[in-house]
């Protein structure tokens, strides 16, 4: 099932794709879903960021043998944007990279998840771009200077709740129409489940929170004017232009 977040006259609303219309729901976290009765033709819908998280956790994987474990950090929710929004690359601070990633959208409060039950806390999956001022990294121990820019975290185009296998999601990055990276969550040094176990050991996640899963070789430099399309198999394509 696809759940999008739409710009409507009443404000942002989540909606489910059925046929050629988006059907508005009261909340994406209710079970069962409650339909309001409103619907919007798909070709008239304006999609926002697929979720409005209170917490976005970024992930840096360390290669096997590295002295430190996986690293996590909080990325600013002010950086969240939707598919179609311009990414405002910070000027004069070095190279700006896009990073095409699988993002997990949490559905239920989750603490101390295990490898066995990690996916029970998941509502679905969306495509993320973890935009980064990479030349800041050496002087920015906490990933603040590098990752807080306007629209530096596009999330979209929607949440897919029925992904066959989160550990095997093919990821394609296209810049200005040319394929520049082909990889997938299967190339991550730690599994998606292990990432959720790690994060929830230290932080209780809540419905709507987003966990990025790291870039499996899908980080690439961009320039103003570039168009970036990140496609995750089974989910969809997140498209943004660098402003």
- Angle CA 217–220–223, to nearest 5: 170
Calculate the alpha carbon distances from 236 to 123, 128, 186, 224 in Å: 16, 11, 18, 24
Burial 49-70 (b: 16+ CB within 10 A, else e): bbbebebbbbbbbeeeeeeeeb
Nearer to a copy of itself, 107 or 149 (CB): 149
Backbone angles phi, psi at 31, to 5 degrees: -135, 115
What is the nearest approach in angstroms of a copy of itself to the Cβ of residue 209? 8
Q: How far is the CB of 214 from a copy of itself (least distance, A)?
A: 13
Contact pattern from residue 140 through residue 169 relative to a copy of itself, giving x for each residue in contact according to CB under 8 A and a dash for the rest = xxxxxx--xxx-------------------
Task: Based on the shown chain and the rule CB under 8 A, indicate whether residue 60 belongs to the binding site for a copy of itself.
Answer: yes
Which of 27, 54, 115, 227 touches a copy of itself (CB under 8 A)? 54
Number of H helices, E strands in the chain: 1, 18
CB of 217 to a copy of itself, least distance (A): 21
- Considering the complex, state which of residue 38 and residue 206 has its C-beta at the smaller distance from a copy of itself: 206
Spatial distance between the Cα atoms of 181 and 178, rounded to a whole number of angstroms: 9
In the region spanning residues 189 to 228, those forming contacts with a copy of itself, defined by CB under 8 A, are 202-204, 206
Three-class secondary structure of residue 203 per DSSP? coil
Q: Does 95 bind a copy of itself (CB under 8 A)?
A: no
The single residue among 71, 183, 187, 237 that binds a copy of itself, judged by CB under 8 A, is 71
Find the shortest distance in angstroms from Cβ 177 to a copy of itself: 32
From the list 6, 40, 72, 134, which residue makes contact with a copy of itself (rule: CB under 8 A)? 72
Residue from 1, 30, 34, 69 binding a copy of itself (CB under 8 A): 69
Kindly report the backbone phi and psi dihedral angles of residue 134, in degrees, each rounded to the nearest multiple of 5, phi listed first.
-65, -25
Task: Give me the least distance between CB of 46 and a copy of itself, in Å please.
Answer: 22
Helix, coil or strand: residue 185 = helix
Does position 57 bind a copy of itself by CB under 8 A? yes
| Residue number with CB closer to a copy of itself (117 or 202) | 202
CA angle 196, 182, 184 (to 5 degrees): 20
- Quote the Cα angle for 31-195-134, to 5°: 115
* Residues lying near a copy of itself in the complex (CB under 8 A): 54-55, 57, 60, 68-69, 71-78, 90, 139-145, 148-150, 202-204, 206
């Amino acid at each position: 099932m696809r759940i999008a977040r739409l710009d409507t006259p009443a404000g942002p609303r989540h909606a489910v794709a059925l046929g050629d219309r988006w059907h508005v729901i009261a909340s994406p976290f209710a079970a069962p879903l409650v339909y309001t009765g409103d619907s919007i033709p798909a070709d008239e819908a304006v999609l926002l960021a697929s979720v409005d998280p209170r917490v976005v956790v970024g992930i840096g994987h360390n290669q096997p043998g590295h002295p430190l474990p996986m690293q996590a950090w909080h990325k600013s929710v002010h950086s969240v944007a939707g598919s179609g929004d311009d990414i405002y690359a910070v000027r004069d601070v070095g190279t700006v990279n896009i990073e095409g990633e699988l993002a997990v959208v949490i559905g239920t409060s989750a603490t101390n998840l295990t490898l066995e039950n990690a996916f029970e806390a998941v509502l679905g999956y969306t495509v993320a771009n973890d935009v980064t001022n990479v030349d800041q990294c050496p002087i920015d121990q906490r990933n603040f200077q590098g990752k807080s820019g306007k629209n530096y975290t596009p999330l979209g185009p929607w949440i897919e709740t029925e992904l066959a296998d989160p550990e095997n999601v093919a990821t394609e990055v296209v810049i200005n129409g040319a394929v520049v990276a082909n990889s997938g969550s299967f190339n991550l040094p730690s599994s998606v489940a292990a990432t959720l176990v790690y994060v929830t050991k230290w932080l209780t996640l809540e419905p709507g929170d987003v966990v990025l899963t790291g870039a499996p070789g899908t980080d690439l430099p961009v320039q103003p004017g570039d168009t970036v399309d990140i496609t995750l198999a089974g989910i969809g394509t997140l498209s943004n232009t660098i402003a």
